[in-house]
C-alpha cells in the first residue's frame, strides 16, 4: 500500500463506538443545525418589528444590535452550510473516509455556531433597552 | 475516544457555556431591572420578583449540572441512560434560565421604554 492511500476502516470504528448506530451519529450532527435554524427563524420573525422599535428609541444602537440587524437576513446560510457539511460527513463512513478529528471539528463548529447565534440574538435584542435605560436613568 | 463520547463532551460543554452566559447576563442586567421596577412603582410581576430574589443562586446550576455530567461520563458504559439524563438536565436548565431571564426582563423593560416614549 502506498503512503498516501486511504485506509479503509471496519464499520465498528467508523460508527458510534461499539454500538455502530449511524442514526445516532446523524442525530448528534443534525441537532445543532436544528438549533441554528430555530434561532434564525426567531430572528426573522422578531427583528423586523424590533428594528422599527429600535429606530423609535433614538440614539445609536449597540454594536451587537446593529451588526445583527445588518446580518440577520443572511443568517439562513449558516444552518444551510452546516447541513450540507453534516450530510457530507454522514455519507462518508460508508466509503470509509471518516476521521474522528474531522467529525469533532464539524460538531464543535456547528454546536459552537448555534450557541454563538443564540447569544448574538439575545444580546442584540436586549442591548438597546438596557442602553436607553442607562442613558435616561 | 469514540464519536459518541466526543459528541457528549461537546454537547455538555456547550450547555455549560450557555448556562454561564445566562448567569453573567443575569448579574450584569439585574441592577438595571431593579432600578426600572423601582422607577415604575406598583407591583412587579411574580416572574420578575422571583428572578431578583433568586438570581444570586443561579451559579449553583452550572456547578451542579457539570458535576452530574462528569459523573455520567464516568459511568457511561455501565449506565447509558445516565448520560441522556445529564444532557436533558443540562440543556433543560439552560432553557429554564433563558426563559426566566427573558420573561423577567421584557415586560418591565417594555413598560419602562413605553413610559419614556
Write out the DSSP string of A22-73: HHHHHHHHHHHHHHHHHHHHHHHHHHHHHHHHHHHH-SPPPHHHHHHHHHGG
Task: Examine the pLDDT at B89 and tell me if it is beyond 90.
Answer: yes
Mean pLDDT of B16-32: 94
How far is Cα B8 from Cα B84, in angstroms, rounded to an integer? 9
ipTM: 0.86
Contact B4 A107 (CB under 8 A): no
How far is Cα A69 from Cα A49, in angstroms, rounded to an integer? 11
What pLDDT is attached to residue A2?
46
Contact B10 A100 (CB under 8 A): no
Chain B residue numbers touching A93 (CB-CB < 8 A): none
What pLDDT is attached to residue B35?
85
What pLDDT is attached to residue A24?
61
**Residue showing cell 416572574:** B47
- Nearest Cα of chain A lies from the Cα of B39 at a distance, in angstroms, of 9
State the pTM of this model.
0.83
What pLDDT is attached to residue B113?
66
Contact A126 B105 (CB under 8 A): yes
- Of all residues in chain B, the percent with pLDDT exceeding 90 is 44
Mean pLDDT of B57-71: 92
Contact A126 B29 (CB under 8 A): yes
8 Å CB contact between B41 and B116: no
Q: Is B77 on the interface with A (CB under 8 A)?
A: no
**Residue showing cell 426582563:** B105
* Nearest CA among B5, B48, B3 for reference residue B30: B48
Q: Is B80 on the interface with A (CB under 8 A)?
A: no
Of the partner residues B5, B14, B29, the one whose CB lies closest to the CB of residue A130:
B29
In this predicted model, which residue has the larger pLDDT, A20 or B17? B17
What pLDDT is attached to residue A124?
94
Q: Would you write out chain A's pLDDT as a tens digit for each of its 137 residues?
A: 444 445 444 444 444 443 445 566 788 899 999 999 999 999 999 999 888 888 877 778 899 999 999 999 999 999 999 999 999 888 876 656 678 888 899 999 999 999 999 999 999 998 888 887 777 66
Amino acid at each position: 500500500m502506498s503512503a498516501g492511500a486511504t485506509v479503509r476502516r471496519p464499520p465498528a470504528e467508523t460508527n458510534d463506538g461499539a454500538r455502530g448506530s449511524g442514526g445516532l451519529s446523524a442525530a448528534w450532527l443534525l441537532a445543532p443545525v436544528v438549533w441554528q435554524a430555530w434561532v434564525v427563524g426567531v430572528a426573522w420573525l422578531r427583528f423586523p418589528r424590533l428594528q422599527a422599535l429600535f429606530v423609535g428609541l433614538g440614539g445609536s444602537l449597540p454594536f451587537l444590535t446593529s451588526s445583527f440587524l445588518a446580518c440577520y437576513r443572511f443568517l439562513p446560510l449558516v444552518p444551510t452550510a452546516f447541513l450540507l457539511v453534516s450530510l457530507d460527513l454522514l455519507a462518508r463512513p460508508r466509503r470509509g473516509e471518516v476521521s474522528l478529528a474531522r467529525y469533532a471539528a464539524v460538531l464543535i463548529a456547528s454546536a459552537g455556531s448555534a450557541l454563538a447565534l443564540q447569544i448574538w440574538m439575545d444580546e442584540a435584542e436586549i442591548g438597546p433597552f438596557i442602553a436607553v435605560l442607562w442613558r435616561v436613568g | 475516544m469514540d464519536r459518541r463520547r466526543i459528541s457528549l463532551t461537546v454537547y455538555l460543554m456547550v450547555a455549560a457555556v450557555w448556562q454561564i452566559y445566562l448567569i453573567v447576563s443575569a448579574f450584569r442586567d439585574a441592577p438595571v431591572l431593579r432600578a426600572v421596577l423601582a422607577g415604575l412603582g406598583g407591583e412587579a410581576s411574580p416572574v420578575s420578583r422571583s428572578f431578583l430574589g433568586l438570581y444570586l443562586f443561579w451559579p449553583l446550576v452550572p456547578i451542579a449540572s457539570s458535576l452530574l455530567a462528569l459523573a455520567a461520563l464516568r459511568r457511561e458504559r455501565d449506565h447509558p441512560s445516565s448520560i441522556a439524563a445529564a444532557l436533558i438536565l443540562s440543556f433543560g436548565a439552560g432553557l429554564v434560565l433563558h426563559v426566566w431571564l427573558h420573561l423577567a426582563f421584557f415586560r418591565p423593560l417594555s413598560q419602562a421604554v413605553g413610559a419614556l416614549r
